[in-house]
């Protein structure tokens, strides 16, 4: 898998002439991009996005550029744009337009699926205001900026459009930051392309650096980190287990609860949600109406924040262990439940949050060098982690849920119980190589040989960081 980093270099005080050259190039690019967005709309959005990027490029060129094989294109570019358009600018614009339309189509699909109900704004056909121009290898020379000669300013050579309609390469000074060399030193390879960006009257050259990282597939992890994304009480309950491959069992190292500051964000979000519901009740209107939009935007931003921060906390734990695999329960999707609307909405938000967290942890795992795996959920919250009987949850204080087993009398924090069950499922998968897709059957190694938990009724406190219980 490729990890991509971007470094933004500001074009350092270009003089009037050089600035005009950039502006002119930008203006033309913007025109070409608008032209192709219009062509895609006329030629059929779905027809274009069903093609691969490469085929779409060929197709769009064939209907806009006259060649020997296509002497009369349906939408000739020379008629729409008077300035001669250089091939690289045209291709850059086509690729950009294709990407924009493609993401528009996928956003639209998502909007029909759930966004409409969540009060998101209906996506509109791309009509960009800020353009970024991607220069391809043949049009840009970057060598100078990689010289480590201690000079503050280096040059990027860019091909720009002159007043007479000619293209030529010019030097643009940029300040090079230490971060660029830090990335190169840690194995990132700069791509020979640059993206030109104009923002607040300043020009920037964005460089992309790539590093190919192997997704780690651990067959014999030393550490298994089971995560229960309960999301409602604790955002996450994380159990760290050390695997003893010789004795074929595992030992609990520590348990973390991720909440604290994050839980405050959740409360803030829930307060906003309640406000939305009250408004709905009072006005009898759906949450898509204007006055709720603002609230929904806040809720969605909070959700994103919560997800990213939770993922970071999980990755932080995993980073500290050697050969670690982080295990989540596989998300089973949203089934068409015919419950109360508010309950369905809650489930959707929870699902979305979980998905966001696991996706982010997957990304982080590649950068930080741990691996990620999934188990199919199998009654992990209903089963007693000590004897396997079906138990029940109860909340003595309201904030924490406990689990009690009627068969053996075991009482434990409900989230911890779920983490243990999930761990047994995964351990059994590791030791036997079997993975029960249904997960419902008792494919669990005998728990008493693996774990004896002293964690009876642990309370999660709202500290700033995740709090942990170290068990010996």
Q: Which residues bind Zn ion (CB under 5 A)?
A: 384, 386-387, 389, 405, 407-408, 410
Nearer to Zn ion, 303 or 385 (CB): 385
Query: For residue 436, what are its two tokens?
Result: 């029960």
Dihedral sign for Cα atoms in the order 377, 380, 385, 391: negative
The SS3 of residue 50 is: coil
Closest distance between Zn ion and the C-beta of residue 377, in Å? Answer: 19
The SS3 of residue 322 is: coil
Closest distance between Zn ion and the C-beta of residue 432, in Å? Answer: 23
Nearer to Zn ion, 165 or 409 (CB): 409
Nearer to Zn ion, 393 or 465 (CB): 393
Whole-number Å distance between alpha carbons of 362 and 355:
11
Whole-number Å distance between alpha carbons of 337 and 344:
7
Closest distance between Zn ion and the C-beta of residue 429, in Å? Answer: 22
Whole-number Å distance between alpha carbons of 277 and 236:
26
Nearer to Zn ion, 99 or 457 (CB): 457
How far is CA 288 from each of CA 135, 183, 296, rounded to the nearest angstrom?
41, 44, 9
Closest distance between Zn ion and the C-beta of residue 402, in Å? Answer: 13
Q: How many CB atoms lie within 10 A of CB 133?
A: 24
Nearer to Zn ion, 332 or 407 (CB): 407
The SS3 of residue 6 is: strand
Whole-number Å distance between alpha carbons of 85 and 248:
67
Nearer to Zn ion, 25 or 453 (CB): 453
Closest distance between Zn ion and the C-beta of residue 410, in Å? Answer: 5
Nearer to Zn ion, 135 or 410 (CB): 410
Main-chain dihedrals φ then ψ at residue 175, nearest 5 degrees: -90, 130
Nearest to 29 by CA among 95, 92, 113, 108: 92
Closest distance between Zn ion and the C-beta of residue 406, in Å? Answer: 8
The SS3 of residue 234 is: coil
Closest distance between Zn ion and the C-beta of residue 442, in Å? Answer: 13
Whole-number Å distance between alpha carbons of 162 and 93:
19
């Amino acid at each position: 898998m490729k990890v991509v980093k971007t470094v933004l270099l500001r074009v350092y005080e270009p003089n009037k002439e050089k600035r005009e050259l950039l502006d002119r190039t930008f203006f033309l690019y913007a025109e070409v991009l608008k032209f192709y967005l219009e062509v895609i709309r006329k030629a059929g959005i779905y027809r274009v996005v069903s093609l691969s990027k490469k085929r779409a490029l060929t197709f769009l060129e064939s209907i806009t550029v006259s060649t020997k094989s296509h002497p009369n294109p349906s939408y000739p570019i020379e008629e729409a744009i008077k300035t001669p358009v250089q091939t690289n600018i045209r291709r850059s614009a086509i690729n950009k337009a294709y990407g924009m339309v493609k993401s528009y189509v996928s956003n639209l699909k998502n909007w029909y699926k759930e966004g409409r109900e969540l009060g998101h704004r209906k996506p509109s056909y791309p009509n960009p205001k800020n353009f970024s121009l991607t220069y391809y290898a043949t049009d840009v020379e970057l060598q100078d900026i990689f010289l480590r000669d201690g000079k503050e300013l280096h040059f990027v050579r860019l091909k720009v459009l002159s007043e007479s309609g000619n293209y030529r390469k010019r030097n643009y000074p940029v300040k090079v930051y230490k971060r660029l060399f830090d990335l190169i030193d840690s194995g990132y390879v700069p791509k020979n392309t640059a993206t030109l960006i104009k923002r607040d009257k300043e020009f920037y050259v964005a460089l992309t650096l790539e590093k190919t990282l192997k997704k780690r597939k651990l067959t014999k992890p030393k550490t298994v980190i089971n995560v229960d994304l309960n999301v409602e009480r604790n955002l996450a309950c994380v159990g760290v287990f050390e695997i003893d491959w010789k004795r074929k069992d595992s030992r609990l190292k520590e348990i973390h609860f991720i909440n604290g500051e994050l839980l405050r964000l959740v409360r803030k979000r829930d307060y906003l949600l309640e406000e939305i519901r009250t408004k709905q009740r009072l006005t009898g209107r759906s949450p898509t109406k204007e006055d709720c939009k603002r609230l929904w935007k806040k809720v969605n931003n909070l959700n994103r924040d919560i997800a990213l921060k939770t993922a970071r906390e999980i990755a932080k734990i995993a980073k500290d262990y050697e050969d670690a695999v982080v295990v989540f329960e596989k998300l089973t999707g949203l089934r068409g439940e015919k419950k109360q609307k508010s309950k369905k909405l809650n489930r959707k938000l929870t699902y979305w949050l979980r998905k966001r967290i696991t996706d982010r942890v997957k990304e982080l795992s590649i950068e930080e060098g741990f691996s990620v795996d999934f188990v199919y959920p199998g009654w992990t919250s209903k089963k007693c982690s000590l004897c396997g009987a079906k138990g029940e949850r109860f909340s003595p204080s309201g904030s924490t849920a406990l689990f009690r087993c009627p068969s053996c009398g075991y009482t434990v924090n409900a989230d911890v119980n779920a983490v243990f069950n999930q761990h047994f499922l995964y351990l059994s998968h590791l030791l036997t190589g079997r993975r029960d897709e249904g997960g419902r059957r008792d494919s669990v190694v005998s728990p008493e040989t693996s774990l004896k938990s002293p964690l009876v009724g642990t309370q999660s406190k709202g500290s700033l960081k995740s709090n942990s219980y170290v068990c010996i």
